[in-house]
Structures are given as structure tokens and as C-alpha cells.
Amino acid sequence: MSKYSLTAMGGTFDLIHKGHLKLLSNAFDISNKVIIGLTSDELAAKRGKITTNKYEQRLENLTTVISREFPNASFEISKLENDFGPAVLEKEVEALIVSDETSNQGNKLNELRKEKNLPLVQIVIVPMYLAKDGTRISTTRIKNSEIDADGNLLSIDK
């Protein structure tokens, strides 16, 4: 039996890496169902992110990875046009899954839920997955050819 019936999490999921898989794994381990907010192209641009893949491709990639890696997972992917999407309005959401990098989002979400007279959510912080050099794994580092999606260091002298 899972700790929560319904949790929420969000991300851009541009180039899916081991850090994303760890976040998803934690979410699926503690929840019967996970709502995943997938950042829209517009919101990504507003946040200064230059994505390799457009929203539709990121949605397809994320769905494929979840189906392959977590075949029994119950999830719903929602397009994120703002910072919180359905997590603000869904009364049944019990927890927000965040990385330590985005943990402040939980407090902001609870402030918004309080304003709407909704129950506050638990904030579940999943530590960042570290690459082999002890620095966090990130899409930016993968794009810069510093590391691969598993956090292995890549030679700059290729």
C-alpha cells in the first residue's frame, strides 16, 4: 500500500536522464497515482530554457520512458502553463514531489492552496542525482557534452 493516493510533480523533461528517473521512481514508490506537470514550450522559454525537443516530442518521450521503466505506474501528464498546474486546484493531491533544487516550490504551492481553502500538501524532497564527478546531473550538462544521461563523464577531447 502506497503512502499517498495522489501526488504531483513537474518538470521540463527535455533530455530524460537518470536524475529524472530517480524523481519518477520515488514518486511512483510512494503514490498510487502521480500527476506529472510537463512544462509547455512557452513556460520553458519564459524560464529561460532552450529546449532541444518541443512539447509534443517531450510528451511522447516521457510517456515512452515511463511505460518502459515503470510499467505498472498509474500516471497522468498535464501540460504546465504556469508554475503549478493542477497541483493548485486538485483537492485530492496529497504531496508534491520535488528535487532539492526546486524544494521552495512546495511552500509556494501550499500558500496558493491555503488561499483557495484546499488542504496543504506534504513536500517530498528527492535528493539530486549526482554524476560521476559528484556534481548534479542535468540536461544542461548533457547538452554541453560534459556527461551522458547516466552521469558518466565524457571526454572533452573527442
Confidence of residue 115 (pLDDT cuts 50, 70, 90): very high
In a domain, 144, yes or no: no
* Domains of the chain: total: 1
In a domain, 122, yes or no: yes
Q: Does the pLDDT at position 70 exceed 80?
A: yes
Confidence of residue 103 (pLDDT cuts 50, 70, 90): confident
What pLDDT, in 10s, does the model give residues 18-41? 999 999 999 999 999 999 999 999
Global pTM value: 0.93
Pure H helices in the chain: 18-30, 41-46, 55-69, 86-89, 104-115, 139-143
The whole-chain average pLDDT of the chain stands at 94
In a domain, 37, yes or no: yes
In a domain, 138, yes or no: no
- Cβ 38 vs Cβ 10: under 8 Å: yes
In a domain, 90, yes or no: yes
- Cβ 99 vs Cβ 59: under 8 Å: no
In a domain, 158, yes or no: no
Q: Does the pLDDT at position 158 exceed 50?
A: no
Q: Using a pLDDT cut of 90, give the percent of the chain over it.
A: 87
Residue 51's pLDDT is 96
CATH number of the domain that 25 lies in?
Answer: 3.40.50.620
Residues paired with residue 136 on neighbouring β-strands, in sequence order: 130
Confidence of residue 156 (pLDDT cuts 50, 70, 90): low
Give dist(CA 24, CA 8) in Å, integer.
10
What pLDDT, in 10s, does the model give residues 118-147? 999 999 999 999 999 999 999 999 999 999
**By residue range, what is the domain housing residue 104?**
4-128
Burial 85-116 (b: 16+ CB within 10 A, else e): bbbbebeebbbbbbbeebeebbeebbeebeee
Q: Does the pLDDT at position 102 exceed 90?
A: no
